[in-house]
Amino acid sequence: MEETYLLNVEGVKKKILHGGQGELPKLQDGSKITFHFQTLKDDFERTVIDDSREAGIPMEIIVGKMFKLEIWETLLSSMRAGEVAEFWCDAIHTGMYALVSRGMRRIAEGRDPLEGQKHRCGMGSMFDYHSTGYDDLDELQRTPQPLIFIMELFRVEEPWAYKRDTWAMSKEEKLAAVPVLHREGNRLVLRKEFGQAAEKYQEAVICLRNLQAKEKPWEDGWLKLENLVTPLVLNYCQCQLELGEYYEVLEHTTELLQKHNDNAKAYFKRAKAHAAVWNEREAREDFLRVAHLDPSMAAAVKKELKQLGERMRKKHVEDRKRYQGLFQLPR
Residues 50 and 74 in one domain: yes
Residue 327 located in a structural domain: no
pLDDT for 167 equals: 60
pLDDT for 121 equals: 42
pLDDT for 2 equals: 57
Residue 113 located in a structural domain: no
pLDDT for 276 equals: 93
How large is the average pLDDT for residues 61-71? Answer: 78
- Across the chain, mean pLDDT equals 86
Residues 152 and 10 in one domain: yes
pLDDT of residue 118 exceeding 80, the answer is no
Residue 324 located in a structural domain: no
Residues 297 and 204 in one domain: yes
Residue type, position 309, single letter: G
Helices (H), 56-121: 71-77, 91-94, 97-108
pLDDT for 164 equals: 63
| Domain carrying residue 199 | 171-319
pLDDT of residue 77 exceeding 50, the answer is yes
pLDDT digits (tens, 9 = 90+) for 266-300: 999 999 999 999 999 999 999 999 999 999 999 99
Residues 201 and 153 in one domain: no
User: Residue 310: which CATH number?
Assistant: 1.25.40.10
pLDDT of residue 197 exceeding 90, the answer is yes
pLDDT for 150 equals: 97
Residue 325 located in a structural domain: no
The total of structural domains in the chain comes to 2
Alpha-carbon span 286 to 211, nearest angstrom: 31
How large is the average pLDDT for residues 225-245? Answer: 96
Residues 233 and 308 in one domain: yes
Residues 228 and 313 in one domain: yes
Residue 56 located in a structural domain: yes
- What count of other Cβ atoms lies within 10 Å of the Cβ of residue 167? 10
Residue 202 located in a structural domain: yes
Contacts of 182 (CB under 8 A, 6+ apart): 200, 201, 204, 232, 235
Residues 204 and 80 in one domain: no
How large is the average pLDDT for residues 124-146? Answer: 75
pLDDT for 321 equals: 75
Residues 248 and 309 in one domain: yes
> In this structure, what DSSP letter does residue 34 have?
E
pLDDT of residue 126 exceeding 60, the answer is no
- What count of other Cβ atoms lies within 10 Å of the Cβ of residue 300? 14
pLDDT for 157 equals: 86
Residue 330 located in a structural domain: no
Alpha-carbon span 134 to 264, nearest angstrom: 54
Q: Which of 57, 63, 78 is nearest to 149 (CA)?
A: 78
Residue 98 · residue 160 · CB < 8 Å: no
Residues 192 and 220 in one domain: yes
pLDDT of residue 331 exceeding 60, the answer is no
Residues 153 and 179 in one domain: no
- What count of other Cβ atoms lies within 10 Å of the Cβ of residue 145? 14
Residues 178 and 307 in one domain: yes
pLDDT for 107 equals: 76
pLDDT for 247 equals: 95
Helices (H), 24-90: 52-55, 71-77
Residue 217 located in a structural domain: yes
> In this structure, what DSSP letter does residue 143 have?
S
How large is the average pLDDT for residues 71-99? Answer: 93
> What is the band of 328 on the pLDDT scale with cuts at 50, 70, 90?
low
Residues 137 and 185 in one domain: no
Strands, E, within 158-284: which ranges? none
pLDDT for 119 equals: 41
> What is the chain's length?
331
